[in-house]
Amino acid sequence: MARNPKITFIGAGSTVFMKNIVGDVLQRPSLSGATIALMDINPQRLEESAIVVNKLIATLGVKAKTETHSDQRKALAGADFVVVAFQIGGYEPCTVTDFEVPKKYGLRQTIADTLGVGGIMRGLRTVPHLWKVCEDMLAVCPDAIMLQYVNPMAINTWAIAEKYPEIRQVGLCHSVQGTAMELAEDLDLPYEEIRYRSAGINHMAFYLKFEHRQPDGSYRDLYPDLVRAYREGRAPKPGWNPRCPNKVRYEMLTRLGYFVTESSEHFAEYTPYFIKDGRPDLIEKYGIPLDEYPKRCIEQIERWKGQAEAYRSADRIEVEQSREYASSIMNSVWTGEPSVIYGNVRNNGCITSLPRDCAAEVPCLVDASGIQPTYIGDLPPQLTALIRTNINVQELTVRALMTENREHIYHAAMMDPHTAAELDLDQIWSLVDDLLAAHGDWLPGWARVARKTEAA
C-alpha cells in the first residue's frame, strides 16, 4: 500500500493561512490521506488550528490525520514537507517598534516587512529561528522540502542557502499570480487567456512578458494596453483595499517599461522616489498608504476573534482552492506530475545579471526530482540596476547574520534606498542604535547591545 505524506506546519497558529493550504492539500487525491502535524508555541492558537483541520477533514470526508506539537523537532520527525509561517515578535511589540522608532526620525514606512530598516530588523529576528528549523530538519527529516512563507522572504532564502545549503527549500509568495489576475481585471480580460513570464527577486520581480492569447493561437503584447489604460485613467481599477490605489506600479511601468509583481504600497518603500518628508503632494498623487501594515494587523486581529468563534461552533468548514503554490508543489513531488510555480531560490546563474548567491524569484519546474529553477539570462539593464539596490541591503543583512558582525547592520541601513533618501549618516547610525536597543531580547545575542559611534 502506498505511503501517505507527512506535512508539518511550523507556526500553525497562523490559522487562516494554514486552513487555505490544508484545504488545498486535502482536495488533491494524492495528498488526501496525509498526516498533518501542527506545531506552534501558542497553545490556544494551536488548539484553534487543530479544530479547523479536523473539521476540514470531516467536511471533505478524507482519511487525513492530525497531530499537534509544542516541540518543533518532534513535529518535524519523518516529515516529507515542512510549511513554515511565523512572525517572530508579532504585531506587538516588534512590528510596532519597526514603525514607531523610525517615525521619530521622520522616516515613514508602509509595510516594513521586506526591505528598509523594518525589513532589516525583521530579518535579524527571523533568520535564527529559520536556521533552528533547518538544524532540526537535518536531524529528523533531512530529505524534506521546506516551503517557506516568511518575510523578509529574500533575506530568509539567502540566509538559509548560505548556512544550510543542503536543505531543499523554496520561498513562496502569491504576488506573481495575484498581480497577473489584477492586471487581467484592469484590462477586462479573462485571466485564463493571459500568458506571462516573470523574474527578479521577491517583491521586485517584473513581468518580462505579459501577453493575451488571440483566437488564432498567437499572443499579443499587453504592455501598450496597460500604459494606455493608465494614461487614460481607466487603470488601475479599485482593488480590495481602498487605502491602496496601486498607482505607484503603473507610474513605474511608464518609466521602466515593465510591471512589478508586488503591490504599490510595498514598492513605494523599496525605492527613493515616493515617500519623502515634506512632500505630501507625492503621498496624495500616488495614494501612498503610510502605516498600512499596522492597520492591517489591527484589522486582522479583530477579524480573527469572530472567525475563531465561528470555526469553533461550525459543523462544517467549506473550502475553495486558494492561489498558493504549496499543494501543487507537494502533488508534483509526490506523484511526479509536473507543474510550474514561481519560487524564491538561490540564484545560481538563473538570472545572469544578478549575483549568483542572491535569492532570485524565477519560474521553477516541479516534479518527482523536486524544485528545479529555470534559466532566465540577463534582465533588462534598468531592472537589474533597480533590483541591485535592494540586493545590497539583503546581502549586508545576511552578511551580518553569517559573521555576527554588528557593523553590517548599519551598512545595510545605510544602503537602503528609502532610508538613504531621507536620513543623513548620523541619523541612520542613531536610528539603528535605537532599533537594536528597543528590540532587545528579540534579536540574537550578538546584535543586542547597540554601540554608539562617534562621527569620524
What's the helix, strand, coil split of the chain in %, to 5?
A: 50, 15, 35
Q: Are 327 and 28 in contact (CB under 8 A)?
A: yes
173 is in an annotated binding site: yes
> What are the backbone dihedrals phi and psi of residue 360, each rounded to the nearest 5 degrees, phi first?
-105, 150
DSSP string of 311-365, one letter each residue: HHH-S-------S-SHHHHHHHHHH---EEEEEEEE-TTSBTTS-TTSEEEEEEE
- CA distances (Å), 127 to each of 163, 202, 205, 256, 293, in order? 10, 16, 22, 33, 21
Q: Are 100 and 38 in contact (CB under 8 A)?
A: no
Q: Are 14 and 85 in contact (CB under 8 A)?
A: yes
DSSP state of 376: -
Non-local (6+) Cβ contacts of 217 within 8 A are none
Q: Are 226 and 235 in contact (CB under 8 A)?
A: yes
With vertex at residue 410, the alpha carbon angle to CA 163 and CA 433, rounded to the nearest 5 degrees, is: 115
* The pairing of beta strand 65-69 with beta strand 35-39: parallel
The active-site residue out of 69, 174, 212, 439 is: 174
DSSP state of 94: I
297 is in an annotated binding site: no
129 is catalytic: no
Q: Are 290 and 282 in contact (CB under 8 A)?
A: no
List, in sequence order, the alpha helices (H) in 257-325: 264-267, 280-286, 292-313
> What are the backbone dihedrals phi and psi of residue 171, each rounded to the nearest 5 degrees, phi first?
-95, 130
Look-up of cell digits 509544542:
70
User: Which bin fits 442, alpha (ψ -120 to 50), beta or left (φ > 0)?
Assistant: alpha
CA proximity to 370, closest of 352, 347, 345: 345
418 is in an annotated binding site: no
List residues forming the annotated binding site.
151, 173, 203
The catalytic residue positions are: 174
List residues forming the annotated binding site for substrate.
151
List residues forming the annotated binding site for Mn(2+).
173, 203
